[in-house]
Amino acid sequence: MPPLTLDASSRRSNVLARRGMVATSQPLAAMAGLRILLDGGNAADAAVATAAVLAVVEPMSTGLGGDAFALFYDAQASTRPGLDPQEGSQGPRRITALNGSGRAPAALTLDDLRRAGLAEIALDSPHSVTVPGTVAAWADLLARHGVMPLSAVLQPAIEYARDGFPVSELIAASWQRGEAKLARLPSGLELLPGGRAPRWGEIVRLPELARTLQAIAAGGPEAFYQGETGQRIVAFVQQQGGRLALADLASHRSTWDEPISLPYRGLRVWECPPNGQGLAALLALGIVSQDDLAAAPPAERWHLLIEAMRLAWADARRWVADPAFGALPLEELLTPAYLASRRSQIDQQRANLAPAAGLPAAERWPVQPAPRSDTVYLSVVDGQGNACSFINSLYHGFGSGLVAPGTGVALQNRGALFSLDPDHPNRLAPGKRPYHTIIPALATQDDELWASFGVMGGFMQPQGHLQVLVNLLNLGLTPQEALDAPRFCLLEGEPGGRVAIEAGAGDALIAALRAQGHDLAVTAGLERTLFGVGQVIRRTADRVLIAGSDPRRDGCAVGW
């Protein structure tokens, strides 16, 4: 096969449909979701089918050993009885937030790790393995919003894992980057068919993963959390020195949380609450909500967005944590008065490389380097107007690199995001969920769906939400144009420090930002995956679905 680059210039059109749309980072997965819609499934059913296929065809980025989050827009919510008493006095919510993230083992304590001399949890450590939440999230999303059984929506994934699939281009490159990580232990070879990472165009079969998926289809999530698969996972992690126990898996539960939101230029933008970092996206949007970004010259607009993101990071890195372990000041952070006060701190002429959190004084905590977009995001809108904004991840490529023998399941390394600072809200504790980078998003207008969108890729994600939404709403770009446009990325989610910027932004803009004090790393080629991979589905007032898929990955949008 010819060498792979991201330098080729090609044009993608928006994809338009009326009866249903799926957009994600791999065509086989997108088609699996569309297949479910054609078979009578809705947005929830198609989302799970798409996510399951992605766990097979893009296994470095997602899998059964990871976590998932979803926002679901229920087009019929206002016309039927409430879903549960927690929905509030105004009846059933149109938007529900599913938190499918796992928790730290009950036997893993902060004191234990500090006594061992650890300042952080290493990315490849067995202590980085938290309970996998994905399988439960799939089942819970279907139970609340789907119309098809889990056994049916898993069939496309089972077929690809058992019978084989051709590896797509950029996924092959990511697979090759993870080859050494997987090869450290014999069980890693279950995801290195033939003893090496596949090249693009090669046919790959993953028989161990196929058997695990078949067991879940037959026995439900219990087959994963309490059956042979769970027992294999626990035995392996403990063999590597970890503390994960079968009781941790058996007691795992997803939660349905109250989504957080913010008005923005006639829309309401929705995110999942902490322990996810969607708060950072809302803070940044709120900071610039009164600015006329469309009228601003490009250098002024980019400077303002970068500075708003720096301030948002300072607050998010201070406060995002598991709210079950302490109250978080979310309402205060999202008030117009607080956002206006943060906006007043932006110098229009000069970059601020040391922004502080606004509530209270800043407290820094170490975070591992951001992964190279090793997550999957998907968006589905069905013909009834239901939408599912869904994200699934192992954190870094192939997670911890630990693959439970006989399962084909790579285990995530989300635990590496815990702080070992005993005074930080995100400090490690038994049964606690860590700071989470993966975030889906929705936007509504007058209670009607406006867009289902997301940009996967570690700490790039809220930065991507900010930039793509500004492109769509402020600049009036189409979904595909909004995703094609060059982006910036505050590296590793640090409030200060270097900012990566795509070469396509242009020499004049780059020079102007440098003159304002921004330390820029100009990025091109395959490194462009650093800027995340987004998907957007817009729904117009005429109920036309308009979708775009990010050119920085292999994916596409498909509809009917």
H or E element: which one contains 336?
A: helix 336-343
* Rounded distance between C-alpha atoms, residue 229 and residue 252, angstroms: 15
* Rounded distance between C-alpha atoms, residue 245 and residue 238, angstroms: 8
Pairing, β 520-523 against β 499-502: parallel
Q: Which of 475, 490, 477, 479 has its CA nearest to residue 545?
A: 479
Q: Could you tell me which residues come within 8 angstroms of residue 286 by beta carbon, excluding any fewer than 6 positions away?
A: 262, 264, 334, 336, 339, 342
Angle made by CA atoms 274, 307, 120, in degrees to the nearest 5? 45
CB 452 within 8 A of CB 461: no
The separation between CA 243 and the C-alpha centre of its own chain, rounded to angstroms, equals 26
CB 393 within 8 A of CB 49: no
Read off the tokens for 73: 């827009």
* Rounded distance between C-alpha atoms, residue 257 and residue 99, angstroms: 7
- Any alpha helices (H) in 503-552, and if so which ranges? 507-515
Convert 174-187 to b/e letters by CB count within 10 Å (16 or more is b).
bbebbbebbbeeeb
* Rounded distance between C-alpha atoms, residue 396 and residue 66, angstroms: 10
Is 375 a residue of the active site? yes
Read off the tokens for 259: 């989504």
Longest dimension (CA), the chain: 62
CA end-to-end distance (rounded Å), the chain: 33
CB 154 within 8 A of CB 367: no
At 162, the amino acid letter reads R
* Rounded distance between C-alpha atoms, residue 334 and residue 287, angstroms: 10
For 387-449, the three-class secondary structure string (H helix, E strand, C coil) is: EEEEEEECCCCCCCCCEECCCCEECCCHHHHCECCCCCCCECCCCCCCCECCCCEEEEECCEE
Convert 339-362 to b/e letters by CB count within 10 Å (16 or more is b).
beebbeebeeeebbeebbbbeeee
Check 24, 50, 62, 375 and give the catalytic one: 375
Indicate which residues carry an active-site annotation.
375
